[in-house]
Amino acid sequence: MTSKNTEQFDAATGPRDRLTLTSGERFAWMTNEHTEWGIRARPGERGLRLADINIGSYGEAPDVWPYDTEIPRGALPNDTAEGMGYSIFEKQEVWAESCAELYEDAIQARWVSATDIPWASLAPLPREIEAAVCQLSTDLSQRAYAAGACVSGWLQQISYGYLEVKSYLATQIFEHSRHAEAFRKRTLANGGALGIEPPNAFTQRCMEAMNFSEALLCIDVLEAAFQVTLFEAGDELAHNDAERELYRRSLGDKLRHLQYGRDHLAWIAQHAPQRSKELQRYLAKAEHALVADLEQPISSEPLIVLFGGGLDSIDRGAARLHALRRAQVERYLQTLREAGFDHDAFPLHSHLAAFVEQPVEA
Amino acid sequence: MAIEVERPVGEQQRDLSPGLDLAWLNLPDGEWGVRAEPGRKGLTLDAIAAGRAGVVPEASRNYSMRLRGVREGKGTLRVSPYTSPSQSDVWSDNAMMLYEEAVQRQWSSATDIPWISIQPLRDDVEFAMCQLCTFLTEVEFIAGDTPGKWLPRISPDYYEVGMFLTTQIMDEARHEDVFRKRALVNGGGLLQQGPGYGLRKILEAADFTEMSALMHVQGEGFVQSMFRMGELLGQNDAEKRIFRLCAQDESRHLAFGVMHLKYTIEKEPWRREEIHAYLDKSERDLAEGTDISFIPVFEAISVLLGGGKEHFDEGAQKFMAIRKKQVNEYMHRLEVAGLGDRRERMVPELAVYLDPPR
């Protein structure tokens, strides 16, 4: 049907009077033979959300998606359509039960760094404090930008059977961007300067991922668990309302990233348990890369200075950083447990294990 | 507490804080004291493009995700094979402004569309709207995937471009979602998939400027011209609002593309013929009856514009008026970008719609 009608329209394109000559098969598409005619999505209290339109066959994300084209799930296939180069056709590779809700939540929780952060609350800080804020913000900004670039590279690989995942990932990419610019703005808004780039061991690991779950375990499980815990400590780190608000808003976004990572892992644990040892490898490599970054002075020292309140209270700052690291590792392990993925089956990186095992000194 | 700067700060403090490196404390003095100030629109990217952080290099060999102005680390790993070694490959002077505008103007398809205003329509009109929405959903899929493909390839020296692309990814996800919602909210459903040939051309593009010319200027330009006729296409407040909000988003994408093309042609005028060659190819595909001339879409739009099957011919005439508008606005955008000579090179099937030059 398609080619024939297309040819007819080719002939008609241009001179307007020929358009009416396409009557041979006119309105052939106007049939409810292949639709669920009469099925009707209803807006709920929170509007018409993605989950609300997952009705009938339109809502069924199959275990395996058979099309390499851009066909919307539930539409009538066009057999002349060419492939679009997707490489992900299995639900277990990308799915998380929460992604449709996370997509809508992300949109509702949107914020604007230019106007939602009370930048006017910034006031001059002691130089070592300002430098520490700048170094930490430089680190967070670059990691966010890298995470967004990494996730966005996967978008084109995911076929449209899993549109809820793609939609959610769009919000996450957007949020990574917002974190990148918001922390960059903080760096440049108070008389300080951009700091030193992070060593990139972890970013390299993210970029090296050869499948989506591997990348996701890095960004939305391990790194997200660490950053959620860091942002939860935002009130301690902040010196003004702008920083407090920046950490608070970023925390909201990051919690969704972590939930998606956790729920994706849970989906794999339930539906593709044979991948368990494969995922252990990815996690072990991600932990190794993270530790390589954490061991660098630029990762730890700004936090020591901020927690200590300056260079005069290094010991106090170091103890508080130790407590933070412990909480970060525990959050990571808790996330794995919630996903039904037991880290006891393989060893935690010794550097991370040490944070959990060693008592925190006051 | 002020710190003396007679010798590097890090070295001083290492003495005071044994066991710490503190090299990061040793910020160059020349960079201190530059303070970005919020303006009328808040603290925007434009406001922080000051001092060293604001100097955009014409060439980039930045392979480590280091956003412009960040200091290089010792032994930092390279992480990405960038394909944008020069500013003119990707730059658009309005990227910063468009990023901030996009962030400010995000909307929610769940709550910003008056879905309640949609009442049962005649079957032929409902079919037509659902067919159009099926097509638009597909278009938006690809328009979201494509910037995702390019983002990791853009040097972070030009991070504003990368950030703008993330807003496009977000916008297109919302468009894909809002047209899908419309197709499923009023008893219709998703109908015939299009051929996607033109969409694939966008994904196939091996060069950023080629991609941008095809997607932002040509593809989104044609879609934008159609969205701006949303008052005629929409049958109720919800649909009219959908077209209006989507048009607002598409305007940004289009503005980026036009200004990027302009920048490239101004900075690298020798690329003019190359860019014409991209447009030759894609216009030919456009004219040969691919996505925008897909029969079900043409018929659906005609039914919507005419007000029903029985007014198809009247609707088809209005469709041709839209096509004329699409082609003329396309030509105008190319003129703004500095490609006014396209008028003489446009494929005849499209050129037939051109008004005489102003």
Give the tens place of pLDDT for each residue, B104-128: 999 999 999 999 999 999 999 999 9
A127 to chain B: nearest residue by CA?
B2
DSSP H/E element including A350: helix A350-357
Range of the domain at B18: 1-26
- Best of A13, A54, A162 to disrupt the B interface (most B CBs within 10 Å) is A13
B2 and B138 together in one domain? no
A129 to chain B: nearest residue by CA?
B1
Query: So what's the pLDDT on residue A359?
Result: 66
B5 and B145 together in one domain? no
Bridge partners, residue A196, by sequence: B71
Give the tens place of pLDDT for each residue, B215-227: 999 999 999 999 9
Any chain A CB within 8 A of the CB of B111?
yes
Q: Are B327 and B353 in contact (CB under 8 A)?
A: yes
Q: State the Cα–Cα distance between residues B169 and B165, nearest whole angstrom.
A: 6
Give the tens place of pLDDT for each residue, B323-334: 999 999 999 999
Q: Are B36 and B47 in contact (CB under 8 A)?
A: yes
Residues 6+ apart with CB under 8 A from A211: A93
**Residue B242 maps to a domain:** yes
Query: So what's the pLDDT on residue B9?
Result: 47
Query: Is the pTM higher than 0.90?
Result: yes
Q: Is the pLDDT of residue A6 over 60?
A: no
B104 and B22 together in one domain? no
B117 and B239 together in one domain? yes
Query: So what's the pLDDT on residue B289?
Result: 61
Q: Is the pLDDT of residue B3 over 50?
A: no
Percent pLDDT > 90 in chain A is 86
Q: Is the pLDDT of residue A17 over 50?
A: no
Query: So what's the pLDDT on residue B18?
Result: 58
Helices (H), chain B: 9-16, 45-48, 87-90, 95-104, 123-150, 159-184, 197-204, 208-212, 220-227, 230-233, 237-267, 272-287, 295-306, 312-336, 342-345, 348-351
**Residue B249 maps to a domain:** yes
Q: Which residues of B touch A117 (CB under 8 A)?
A: 43
Q: Are A152 and B152 in contact (CB under 8 A)?
A: yes
Q: State the Cα–Cα distance between residues A14 and A171, nearest whole angstrom.
A: 41
Distances (CA, A) of B323 to A216, B304, B356: 44, 15, 16
- The vertex-B212 CA angle with A7 and A158, nearest 5°, equals 80
Q: State the Cα–Cα distance between residues A180 and B170, nearest whole angstrom.
A: 16
Looking at residues A191-213, what average pLDDT do you find? 95
Distances (CA, A) of A164 to A49, A222, B187, B250, B262: 11, 23, 21, 22, 36
Q: Are A158 and A94 in contact (CB under 8 A)?
A: yes
Query: So what's the pLDDT on residue A3?
Result: 30
Query: So what's the pLDDT on residue B294?
Result: 86
Percent pLDDT > 70 in chain A is 92
Q: Among A26-30, A97-101, A261-265, A299-303, which stretch is predicted with the lowest mean pLDDT?
A: A26-30
Query: Residue B218: which of B260, B258, B188, B268 has the closest Cα?
Result: B258
Q: Is the pLDDT of residue A137 over 60?
A: yes
Q: Is the pLDDT of residue B164 over 50?
A: yes
Tell me whether residues B38 and A114 touch, CB distance under 8 A: yes
Q: Among A132-146, A155-169, A259-273, A346-360, which stretch is predicted with the lowest mean pLDDT?
A: A346-360
Domain count, chain B: 2
Tell me whether residues A170 and B170 touch, CB distance under 8 A: yes
Query: Quick one: pLDDT band at residue B175, thresholds 50, 70, 90?
Result: very high
B112 and B204 together in one domain? yes
Distances (CA, A) of A43 to A106, A283, B12, B178: 18, 40, 64, 13
As a whole number, the mean pLDDT across chain A is 91
3-state secondary structure of A337: helix
Tell me whether residues A19 and B320 touch, CB distance under 8 A: yes
**Residue B127 maps to a domain:** yes
Q: Which residues of B touch A8 (CB under 8 A)?
A: 295
- B83: which 2 tokens? 């394909």
- B47: which 2 tokens? 């406001």
**Residue B337 maps to a domain:** yes
Query: So what's the pLDDT on residue A293?
Result: 96
Give the 3-state secondary structure of B15-46.
HHCCCCCCHHHCCCHHHCCCCCCCECCECCHH
The residue extents of the domains of chain A are 91-357
As a whole number, the mean pLDDT across chain B is 91
Domain spanning A91-357, CATH architecture: Orthogonal Bundle (1.10)
Chain B: closest CA distance from residue A332 (Å): 25
Give the tens place of pLDDT for each residue, B5-35: 333 444 455 555 657 889 898 877 777 888 8
B96 and B11 together in one domain? no
- A101: which 2 tokens? 């809700």
- A22: which 2 tokens? 């396409």
B106 and B220 together in one domain? yes
Q: Is the pLDDT of residue A220 over 70?
A: yes
